[in-house]
Amino acid sequence: MNRESEIENWVSMSKITEYLDVSRETILQWITCRQMPAHKIGRLWKFKISEVDEWIRSGAAADEHETD
């Protein structure tokens, strides 16, 4: 396996909203209020799918007032 195939690509705001099926505003709230992993590069937000998936699995994305 070569090094290039091991490097995860960054994804844009539009790709992460599509991946999670939520709005841009929701993503921005999650970044601000729930420490969603995101990196600002200039004016653009970039994301690693693996970081976002781990953040979701950790429970950080869950609504604090949500009950089962």
Under the banding of pLDDT at 50, 70 and 90, the label for residue 67 is very low
Q: What residue ranges do the domains of the chain occupy? A: 10-57
Under the banding of pLDDT at 50, 70 and 90, the label for residue 68 is very low
- Tell me the per-residue pLDDT of 24-42, one tens digit each, with 9 for 90 and over: 999 999 999 999 999 999 9
Measuring CA to CA, how many Å separate 46 from each of 2, 63, 66, 67?
A: 24, 23, 28, 31
Residue 66's SS3 state is coil
Averaged over 54-65, what is the pLDDT?
83
